[in-house]
Amino acid sequence: VFANEIICCGGAINSPQLLQVSGIGNAEHLNSLDIPVVQDLPGVGEDLQDHLEVYVQWACKKPISLYPALSPWRAPKIGFDWLFRKKGIGATNHFEAGGFIRSNETVKYPNLQFHFLPLAIRYDGTAPSEGHGFQLHVGPMGTDVRGRVKIKSGDPLEYPSILFNYLSTSNERKEWCEAVRLSRKVIETEAMSELMGEELSPGPEVQTDEEILDFIAKEGESAYHPSSTCKMGVETMSVTDANLRVHEVKNLRVVDASVFPYVTNGNIYSPVMMVAEKAADLILGNSLLNAEHVPFYKKEIKA
């Protein structure tokens, strides 16, 4: 590649993979794959972080959910309305209500995120039961779990080995038990009493910590927020600097969620856009705006 500067925007999985197959990464691992080492950066692919989530589902006692929309006979009209009129139930993802909550009184800042969906449905599009229902999507935001992305060969087309390490720490397991119990507590309020039917998932028989964690292990799914595999910083395991440049490598920047020092306390779309806009200003040499000093919460780094 001949260019003044290379900008890698592969995301938290592909960016570390691309760096590694190009000889930038842990020298010992690269040597084991007979890849010439361009720069020994042991942090490439390390510190993988993500948000895991599950849905807690209930039957709805009133016929007001989106259940009728699951009928295959309604699909053509839903698609037509969205494609040609830009309206109808296909014009939204329906996660229009949500919030953040603290898992217990000792937590200083909300560490759980809720999304509410007026339909009981699985990610694969199947419903847990016949009839109307609704669900809460919930998951801990401040995970202390760390995984990694590691290439298996020098072939850029071969998928890398990805280890998320979900549920591998006592703190994450504790927060998950709290998350499921708080989900139930939210729906069991008086405001929802006219709507709440039987619990469909995980089901009323799931009560102990062990039972809840077994449910999470089987049903938990990624929220698709992988981050931090080329993290910004100055310590040994960092990969990029404050200008998004790869340490000790000329004319190479990484601009995506992999540069996050740690995953954000919520969805990553807006923070990724912020990183991209900042990168654009740095690359173009635009003058920076005056600094604004506003209060914010800085979470404790657990790992």
CA distances from 139 to 64, 186, 215, 219, 266 (A): 26, 14, 13, 12, 10
| Known active-site residue 225 | yes
- 236: its two tokens: 């040994």
Catalytic-labelled residue, pool 51, 225, 247, 293: 225
DSSP for 100-116? EE-SSTT-SS--EEEEE
The strand pair at 112-117 and 97-101 is best described as antiparallel
d(CA 14, CA 24): 13
The strand pair at 112-117 and 133-140 is best described as antiparallel
Strand order in the sheet with 46-48: 46-48, 147-150, 161-163
Nearest Cα to 243, choosing from 42, 252, 257?
Answer: 252
- 150: its two tokens: 């590691």
Helices (H) and strands (E) in the chain, counts: 6, 13
d(CA 111, CA 302): 13
The identity of residue 218, as a single letter, is K
Q: Are 164 and 150 in contact (CB under 8 A)?
A: no
- 243: its two tokens: 């200008």
User: Cβ-count burial of 40 within 10 angstroms (0-12 exposed, 13-18 middle, 19+ buried)?
Assistant: middle
User: Cβ-count burial of 136 within 10 angstroms (0-12 exposed, 13-18 middle, 19+ buried)?
Assistant: buried
Euclidean distance between the first and the last CA atom of the chain, given in angstroms as a whole number:
37
Known catalytic residues are 225
